Amino acid sequence: MSEKTLNQKMEDLNRQVEWFYSDDFKLEDAISKYEETTKLANDIEKDLNELKNKIEILKEKFDK
Amino acid sequence: MDNKFTPTEFISVVNQTLDYAYGNVLIEGEVSSFKINQGKWVFFDLKDEESSVSCFMTLYQMRMPLEDGMKVVVRGTPKVTKWGKFSFTVQTVTPVGEGSLKKAYELLKKKLTEEGLFAPEKKRRLPEDLTKIGVISSTQAAGYADFIKIINARWGGLDVQVAHTQVQGLDAPDQMIRALKYFNERSEAQLIVMIRGGGSADDLACFNDEALVRAIAASKIPVATGIGHEIDESLADLAADIRASTPSNLAEMITPDKKTMISTVQEMVVKVGKVVSQKIDEQITRNQDEIDRITREIKLKIDKVLSDILQKQKILDALNPEATLKRGYSIVSGKISPGNVVKITTFDKIIKAKVEEVDERKNS
């Protein structure tokens, strides 16, 4: 499976965080869910710090 | 023998000479006797204090509205017409000086506003999930450097293609129009940004070029502008879908800030941790309350049992003969008749006694 994009990871994070505020919350699952959320957040932070822009100056001439 | 020309030949030779000597000349002067014939031919005189030059151009070439009294620079070629009249064929005309620029700006703004080019309902929003950007700017401009620096500091993962064009001067509008055409026809850009740092009114005049403004309004891809300083307003800005006050401001508008995003993500995790901690505390409180309730119930039951036992104990105590003996009574056992020996039990003694006499007792 290909690596998820930053946006997909952010969507996952939001979904995971929502669980803690929802009626589905179960204390017995909370620790493992919290560990998953922390890991995903660290992953996103790493992605954000590593992302670089690609700047390309076009060879095309626009003076004629 | 001297050369001899027909009038046509002579005019042709003169025009060749003029074209050779002044094929691409600039003249600055004041417009007078401006008129448009048949909706397509433009005639005006360009004058200073002493002289005047007749000018001709097509309406298509006139990229800004002109009026008598405006100061302009024209680029073109001098020519003698077949009627022997000297004329200057204009290729481009640009207003110069604050007054003329302002006048041209206001006239064109009015015209294009009436056409609906700047209508708010035509504005498109910044594309979601923006990853591909086409930039139109001079790569030597300070505004371009600011823009790139800020987008690199704020965000990553962008695919930025840069069309290097002039961003001031007579050739700038056509170059920027070609760049707009390039991005619309040959790129996957989701947004085109046009940027240029601050400059004088003359420097920024190219962003009020009618053809450029129309090209921006007609672009299939949304266009964002960051031109000049906060106080500058160009017609390109008005035609654009998104307008920023400066190149730096535009960079901030179109990119999220990864530092803010990292803080937000970290805050989300911290808040979730607090939620878990709070729910654990709530559960502990609930458990404690339940323990307290059960303890109270057990205690009540024990108390009730103890009370029952105590009550029964009292009854038993009351029925115990020992208690009667303790109060001083005694138990006489044996046949109660004179001469018989009976056993008398007191609290602390057992006595054998002989019955001497027995009388009936009347109960009161």
Phi, psi of B356 (to 5 degrees): -95, -45
Output B96 or B116, whichever has higher pLDDT.
Answer: B116
Mean pLDDT of B122-147: 93
Q: Does domain B120-256 have CATH number 3.90.76.10?
A: no
Mean pLDDT of A46-58: 93
> Taking CA atoms, what residue in A is nearest to B163?
A58
Contacts for B166 with CB less than 8 Å, ≥ 6 apart: A63, B138, B172, B175, B176, B206
Q: Compute the count of residue pairs across chains A and B with CB atoms less than 8 Å apart.
A: 89
Could you read off the pLDDT of B310-343 as tens digits, one per residue? 999 999 888 888 888 988 999 999 999 999 999 9
Assign 3-class secondary structure to chain A: CCCCCHHHHHHHHHHHHHHHHCCCCCHHHHHHHHHHHHHHHHHHHHHHHHCCCEEEECCCCCCC
Residue B67's nearest CA partner among B98, B31, B97 is: B31
Predicted confidence at residue B255, as pLDDT, reads 94
Angle CA A58–B152–B230, to nearest 5:
90
Distance from C-alpha of B174 to C-alpha of B164, rounded to nearest angstrom: 13
Model confidence at B169, pLDDT cuts 50, 70, 90, reads: confident
Residue B207's nearest CA partner among B169, B242, B178 is: B169
Predicted confidence at residue B318, as pLDDT, reads 82
Please, are residues A57 and B139 in contact by the beta-carbon 8 Å criterion?
yes
Output B63 or B11, whichever has higher pLDDT.
Answer: B11
Could you read off the pLDDT of B281-295 as tens digits, one per residue? 999 999 999 999 999
**ipTM, 2 decimals?**
0.86
Mean pLDDT of B296-322: 92
Model confidence at A42, pLDDT cuts 50, 70, 90, reads: very high
Please, are residues B256 and B155 in contact by the beta-carbon 8 Å criterion?
yes
Contacts for B252 with CB less than 8 Å, ≥ 6 apart: B150, B154, B244
Nearest CA-CA distance, residue A62 and chain B, Å: 5
Distance from C-alpha of B202 to C-alpha of B97, rounded to nearest angstrom: 7
CA B23 to chain centre: 52
Any idea which residue has 């704020």 for tokens? Answer: B154
The residue of B147, B167, B272, B275 whose CB has the most chain A CBs within 10 angstroms, and thus the best one to mutate to test that interface, is: B272
Please, are residues B327 and B317 in contact by the beta-carbon 8 Å criterion?
no
Could you read off the pLDDT of B38-70 as tens digits, one per residue? 999 999 999 999 999 999 999 988 888 899 999
Q: B153 touching A, CB under 8 A? A: no
Nearest CA-CA distance, residue A50 and chain B, Å: 8
Q: How far is CA B35 from CA B58, B85, B271, in A?
A: 11, 18, 72
In 3-state terms, what secondary structure has residue B322? helix
Q: CB distance A53–B165 less than 8 Å?
A: no
Predicted confidence at residue A2, as pLDDT, reads 63
Reading the block at residue B284, the tokens are 């502990």
Q: Which stretches of chain A sit within 8 Å of chain B by CB?
A: 6-7, 13, 17, 20-21, 25, 27, 30-31, 34, 37-38, 41, 44-45, 48-58, 60, 62-63
Q: Give me the residue from A44, A48, A62 closest to B163, CB to CB.
A: A62
Q: What is the largest CA-CA distance in chain A?
A: 70
The residue of A11, A58, A63 whose CB has the most chain B CBs within 10 angstroms, and thus the best one to mutate to test that interface, is: A58
Residue B254's nearest CA partner among B180, B184, B190, B186 is: B190
> Distance between the two ends of chain B, CA-based, in angstroms?
192
Which amino acid, residue B180? Answer: L
In 3-state terms, what secondary structure has residue B63? coil
Reading the block at residue B159, the tokens are 């695919």
Q: Where are the domains of chain B?
A: 7-96, 120-256, 258-319, 322-354
Please, are residues B259 and B158 in contact by the beta-carbon 8 Å criterion?
no
Residue B226 has pLDDT above 90, yes or no: yes
Percent of chain B predicted with pLDDT > 90: 79
- Residue B251: Cβ within 10 Å count: 24
Predicted confidence at residue B364, as pLDDT, reads 60
CATH architecture observed for domain B7-96: Beta Barrel (2.40)
Nearest CA-CA distance, residue B262 and chain A, Å: 6
Distance from C-alpha of B25 to C-alpha of B64, rounded to nearest angstrom: 20
DSSP assigned state of B197: -
DSSP assigned state of B127: P
The residue of B159, B276, B281 whose CB has the most chain A CBs within 10 angstroms, and thus the best one to mutate to test that interface, is: B276
Which residues 274-313 of chain B have a CB within 8 Å of chain A?
Answer: 275-276, 279-280, 283
Mean pLDDT of B138-158: 93
Q: Give me the residue from A17, A56, A62 closest to B175, CB to CB.
A: A62
Distance from C-alpha of A49 to C-alpha of A46, rounded to nearest angstrom: 5
Could you read off the pLDDT of B172-215 as tens digits, one per residue? 999 999 999 999 999 999 999 999 998 888 888 899 999 999 99
Q: CB distance A54–B160 less than 8 Å?
A: yes
Q: What is the mean pLDDT of chain B?
A: 92
